[in-house]
Amino acid sequence: MMAIFEYAPAPESRDVVDLQPSYGLFIDGEFADGGGPSFKTINPATEEPLAEVATATAEDVDRAVRAARKAFEAWSALPGAERAKYLFRIARIIQERARELAVLESLDNGKPIRESRDVDVPLVAAHFFYYAGWADKLAYAGFGTKALGVAGQVIPWNFPLLMLAWKIAPTLACGNTVVLKPAETTPLTALLFADICRQAGLPAGVVNIVTGAGETGAAVVAHPDVNKVAFTGSTEVGRIIARTVAGTGKKLTLELGGKAANIVFDDAAIDQAVEGIVNGIFFNQGHVCCAGSRLLVQESVQEELLAALKRRLGTLRLGDPLDKNTDVGAINSAEQLAKIRSLSEAGESEGAERWSPACELPERGFWFPPTLFTGVAQSHTIAREEIFGPVLSVLTFRTPAEAVEKANNTPYGLSAGVWTEKGSRILWMADRLRAGVVWANTFNKFDPASPFGGYKESGYGREGGLHGLEAYLDV
């Protein structure tokens, strides 16, 4: 990309990770073979195979659920303060092994090490610390203290370890046990987490990890002895899961897609807004459900803002995820790259104007340059569908009312951003935006104490904070 000055490469060492040639399922405190054909997980930045991973069949999932059921009795009967000790121990081991987790996450997912090291892994530890604190205080949360039983959880590839933490930390704090399926393309940090559970002396069967593709996830969701299902992923699969669970009495939370509006008013601090826009859509290659993928800019500052944004995009560094200078890493899979390409082509063919900074893409691996579309209409595919990649659609507005109308004109309702110097306008907008999270003069800020979740096709239920306990207790 545009070289302001040359950076010396600063690669993080891989030596801290002890990659095994193959990984089994984690059931009842032991690593075991899976009944299905094993599959390869690859490094999306190089296409190099990292390891063979077992596939759990429906029988394997059944074994895992039975182990979780057996463990539930003793685990749920432990005083909360005792469960807290395990969670605190897990949190501390995550901190101790943070570099190992961050390097492995970047290898398997393609995200920059700066992000896995400075955002994902610290937030993972923070989630365990936070819910460890709740374990002996459930009586004060207002949802009762009775655990549900076995939780079946299915998570995506964009934040493999962080989504695991969002799911597992409250589950264990409330006294449930769990069977979790990580995404097919990013199973490795979940398996390292299994090792951390062993290191922490967590009783066998409290946490079980079953790897595999969508079928394994479907078996977890459909298992009759699962009491609670939690899913994060696409709206399409969320619908399938909602149908499977309907009428079974299982409790369900769904955290699905988004098409968030990031709204910049003419009185906003332009340079800060530019940083927020970049963070909103280019963080994690745009593989973020709450990404600010629709920029709504007030017409009077459009020119100034876009000029500043383009200048800033020219300074983003795309490349080796393990290089500490890297801002934009690899796209997680060939399938996701194909999807981003095809939606971007739809953007062009429907008449929007495409722009990317001069940017050299590595030859091997899956890459997509930071991309802007201007002249986007609300009817365009790229203004409606979740691209889940580093692609920003720019629309304009004239009045606050028009901004609200355009922001809410989406089947999703997960997040939104507002940039203005007026506090009253922030409150006025936040009142009217139909989104689970509204950030003001910032974007993509997460904290374990803050609930997160959507409306409409973005799903239901809340994760994080006091609200996150409700999903794991028999209210």
Which of 112, 156, 319, 464 is the binder for ligand NDP (CB under 6 A)?
Answer: 156
* 181 scored as a contact of ligand NDP (CB under 6 A): yes
Nearest residue to 18 (alpha-carbon basis) of 212, 197, 191:
191
* 190 scored as a contact of ligand NDP (CB under 6 A): no
Give the interface segment with ligand NDP, choosing from 109-117, 234-242, 297-305, 395-403 (CB under 6 A).
234-242
We find the least distance from the C-beta atom of residue 302 to ligand NDP, in angstroms, to be 28
* 257 scored as a contact of ligand NDP (CB under 6 A): yes
Sheet harboring 437-440: ordered strands across?
353-355, 371-374, 391-397, 294-298, 261-264, 415-419, 437-440
Applying the rule CB under 6 A, the residues between 373 and 392 that interact with ligand NDP are 386, 388
We find the least distance from the C-beta atom of residue 214 to ligand NDP, in angstroms, to be 3
In Å, what is the CA distance from 105 to each residue of 61, 97, 174, 237, 402?
Answer: 25, 12, 27, 24, 41
We find the least distance from the C-beta atom of residue 28 to ligand NDP, in angstroms, to be 22
* 289 scored as a contact of ligand NDP (CB under 6 A): yes
We find the least distance from the C-beta atom of residue 244 to ligand NDP, in angstroms, to be 7
Q: Please tell me the total number of residues recorded for the chain in this structure.
A: 475
Based on CB atoms, which residue is closest to ligand NDP, 339 or 434?
Answer: 339
* 217 scored as a contact of ligand NDP (CB under 6 A): yes
- Closest residue to ligand NDP in the complex (CB): 217
Show the binding pattern over residues 68-107: x = contacts ligand NDP (CB under 6 A), - = does not: ----------------------------------------
* 234 scored as a contact of ligand NDP (CB under 6 A): yes
* 152 scored as a contact of ligand NDP (CB under 6 A): no
The single residue of 12, 105, 184, 255 carrying the catalytic annotation is: 255
186 is written with which tokens? Answer: 């990013």
Quote the CA–CA distance of 184 and 441 in Å, as a whole number. 36
* 233 scored as a contact of ligand NDP (CB under 6 A): yes
The single residue of 174, 197, 289, 359 carrying the catalytic annotation is: 289
We find the least distance from the C-beta atom of residue 234 to ligand NDP, in angstroms, to be 3
Q: Taking a C-beta distance cutoff of 8 angstroms, is the pair 191, 212 a contact?
A: no
We find the least distance from the C-beta atom of residue 216 to ligand NDP, in angstroms, to be 7
Catalytic-residue membership of 255: yes
* 158 scored as a contact of ligand NDP (CB under 6 A): yes
- What phi, psi does 51 have (nearest 5°)? -170, 160
Based on CB atoms, which residue is closest to ligand NDP, 210 or 407?
Answer: 210
Based on CB atoms, which residue is closest to ligand NDP, 237 or 313?
Answer: 237
Burial of 407 (0-12, 13-18, 19+ CB in 10 A): buried
Quote the CA–CA distance of 251 and 312 in Å, as a whole number. 45
Based on CB atoms, which residue is closest to ligand NDP, 191 or 221?
Answer: 221
Quote the CA–CA distance of 151 and 167 in Å, as a whole number. 9
181 is written with which tokens? Answer: 């399926």
Quote the CA–CA distance of 390 and 400 in Å, as a whole number. 27
Nearest residue to 391 (alpha-carbon basis) of 256, 295, 305, 270:
295
417 is written with which tokens? Answer: 């951003």
Give, as one character, the DSSP assignment of residue 117. Answer: I
Based on CB atoms, which residue is closest to ligand NDP, 200 or 220?
Answer: 220
Quote the CA–CA distance of 147 and 276 in Å, as a whole number. 40
We find the least distance from the C-beta atom of residue 289 to ligand NDP, in angstroms, to be 3
Catalytic-residue membership of 289: yes
- By rule CB under 6 A, what count of residues binds ligand NDP? 26
Residue tagged 């075991």 (tokens): 32
Quote the CA–CA distance of 304 and 307 in Å, as a whole number. 5
* 232 scored as a contact of ligand NDP (CB under 6 A): yes
Give, as one character, the DSSP assignment of residue 59. Answer: H
Based on CB atoms, which residue is closest to ligand NDP, 110 or 156?
Answer: 156
427 is written with which tokens? Answer: 């409150």
End-to-end CA distance of the chain: 54
Quote the CA–CA distance of 315 and 371 in Å, as a whole number. 13
Which of 69, 339, 354, 467 is the binder for ligand NDP (CB under 6 A)?
Answer: 339
* 214 scored as a contact of ligand NDP (CB under 6 A): yes
342 is written with which tokens? Answer: 């095809």
Residue tagged 């690859």 (tokens): 42
Applying the rule CB under 6 A, the residues between 27 and 46 that interact with ligand NDP are none
Which of 28, 105, 120, 184 is the binder for ligand NDP (CB under 6 A)?
Answer: 184
Which residues of the chain form contacts with ligand NDP (CB under 6 A)? 154-158, 181, 183-184, 213-214, 217-218, 221, 232-234, 237, 240-241, 256-257, 289, 336, 339, 386, 388
Which amino acids are annotated catalytic?
A: 255, 289
